[in-house]
């Protein structure tokens, strides 16, 4: 197995891929440069560009990193993308093509459901496991019907994706692509689209950092991996230190509860800022109608909201050598010189330059609680 913290020989290989089988079909020899972007928050999640001496029509292209270290040899897929040629230049001797590509999810963005396509709401009768109208089966079947590449089946580990969660009918808009429609269906669950470097589409639970274990540690000791340059961004400007909740009770009376962050150790508190930053919530749907004299329940609701919004998201950008970390992975970063001590972070973006050294420019996020507790003042 390759030790990514030590020196090695790195080259790249490029292949045209059969979208129906996922197998390499033809090797490309005239690629002069390539770059790859992985973005957990984008629609297609991965994209790339290739510089090619020659001309290439629309095709799926796969990029491999080939690493050799002593007797160890690994061929690691970096991306499989549907490529198109937006521009071509000719210098009198060679034809040079700039090619851009996107993950197989782009196929869902290129087609539309039939006009007026409707998903009825779930009935009261429980659906069998193989019922095509169960939400887990429906999502997979719609992807299979509108994509050429492989879509993994939704197995027992995703069994909580149930058709019963569709409490209201969904009527597709004429301007909605299949990607938008299927994303709307997935939005009824706790899952999201994912795509492997081999171009296989699958479904995974939305990442929750608190439940994840790091697969890699970046620190100052593996200097061949982590670059010395690192940047950290945060923004506390819009975080409130007062939550006001106003609700109308079942009897029609108005209840008003205010919860304040008065913790002097909290950077967002009233004492720390010297001012009040208020967020007012009126008749929130997630609390429903309350009976009169329910200030205690309302107070707990307001306090919970204040604690949730007083979480600060830190964005960290850094560079490192390639090490089999992908977007959606949890990593540990230990860089005391930058004020980062063994924090867990979620990788959300990567830019890979297919050159010697295979440097990866990476962005990760983590959160810190700014407030736990406070003073509540209730009134009617």
Place of tokens 């390539």: 34
Final residue belonging to a domain, choices 51, 74, 102 = 102
Q: In what order do the strands lie in the sheet with 254-260?
A: 278-282, 242-248, 254-260, 375-379
Q: Are residues 176 and 253 in the same domain?
A: no
Tens digits of residue pLDDT in 88-109: 656 556 667 788 999 999 999 9
**Higher local confidence (pLDDT), 217 or 189:** 217
Full-model pTM: 0.81
Cα-to-chain-centroid distance, residue 322: 20
Backbone CA torsion sign across 136, 141, 147, 151: positive
- Residue 164: the pLDDT is 43
Give the Å distances, CA to CA, from 226 to 223, 330, 344.
5, 16, 16
| pLDDT score of 199 more than 80 | yes
- Residue 364: the pLDDT is 93
Q: How far apart are CA 7 and CA 21, in angstroms?
A: 35
Q: Mean pLDDT, the chain, as a whole number?
A: 84
- Residue 177: the pLDDT is 94
pLDDT tier at 298, thresholds 50, 70, 90: confident
Coil, strand or helix at 374:
coil
Q: Are residues 32 and 176 in the same domain?
A: no
Q: Of 128, 151, 136, whose CA–CA distance to 186 is shortest? A: 136
Tens digits of residue pLDDT in 223-262: 557 776 777 777 788 899 999 998 887 877 888 889 999 9
Q: Are residues 60 and 124 in the same domain?
A: no
- Residue 349: the pLDDT is 97
CB 146 within 8 A of CB 108: yes
pLDDT tier at 119, thresholds 50, 70, 90: confident
**Torsion-angle region of residue 70: left (phi > 0), alpha (psi -120 to 50) or beta?**
left
Query: Could you give the count of Cα atoms lying within 13 Å of 40 in the half-sphere of its Cβ?
Result: 19
Tens digits of residue pLDDT in 260-278: 999 888 888 999 999 999 9
Final residue belonging to a domain, choices 205, 222, 242 = 205
Q: Are residues 25 and 124 in the same domain?
A: no
- Residue 378: the pLDDT is 45
Q: Are residues 227 and 334 in the same domain?
A: yes
What is the tally of structural domains in the chain?
3
């Amino acid at each position: 197995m390759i030790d990514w913290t030590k020196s090695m020989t790195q080259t790249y290989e490029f292949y045209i891929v059969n979208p129906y089988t996922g197998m390499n079909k033809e090797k490309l020899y005239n690629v002069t440069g390539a770059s790859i972007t992985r973005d957990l928050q984008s629609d297609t999640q991965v994209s790339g560009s290739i510089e090619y001496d020659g001309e290439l029509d629309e095709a799926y292209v796969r990029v491999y990193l080939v690493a050799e270290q002593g007797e160890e040899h690994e061929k690691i897929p970096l991306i499989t993308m549907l490529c198109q040629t937006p521009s071509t230049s000719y210098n009198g001797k060679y034809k040079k093509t700039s090619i851009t590509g996107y993950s197989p999810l782009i196929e869902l963005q290129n087609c539309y459901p039939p006009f007026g396509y409707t998903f009825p709401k779930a009935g009261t009768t429980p659906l069998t496991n193989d019922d095509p109208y169960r939400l887990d089966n429906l999502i997979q079947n719609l992807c299979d019907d509108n994509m050429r590449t492989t879509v993994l089946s939704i197995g027992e580990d995703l069994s909580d994706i149930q058709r019963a969660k569709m409490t209201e009918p969904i009527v597709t808009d004429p301007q909605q692509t299949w990607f938008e429609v299927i994303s709307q269906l997935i939005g009824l669950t706790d899952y999201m689209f994912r795509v492997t470097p081999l171009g296989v589409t699958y479904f995974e639970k939305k990442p929750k950092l608190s439940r994840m274990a790091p697969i890699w540690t970046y620190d100052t000791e593996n200097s061949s991996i982590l670059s010395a340059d690192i940047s950290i961004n945060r923004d506390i400007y819009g975080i409130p230190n007062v939550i006001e909740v106003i609700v109308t009770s079942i009897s029609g009376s108005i209840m008003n509860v205010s919860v304040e962050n008065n913790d002097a150790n909290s950077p967002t508190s009233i004492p720390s800022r010297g001012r009040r930053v208020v967020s007012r919530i009126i008749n929130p749907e997630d609390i429903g109608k309350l009976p009169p004299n329910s200030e205690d329940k309302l107070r707990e609701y307001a306090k919970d909201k204040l604690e949730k919004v007083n979480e600060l998201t830190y964005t960290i950008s850094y560079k490192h050598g390639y090490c089999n970390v992908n977007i959606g992975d949890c990593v540990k970063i230990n860089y005391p010189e930058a004020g980062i001590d063994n924090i867990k972070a979620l990788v959300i973006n990567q830019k890979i330059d297919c050159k010697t050294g295979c440097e990866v420019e990476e962005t990760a996020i983590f959160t810190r609680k700014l407030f736990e507790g406070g003073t509540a003042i209730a009134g009617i």
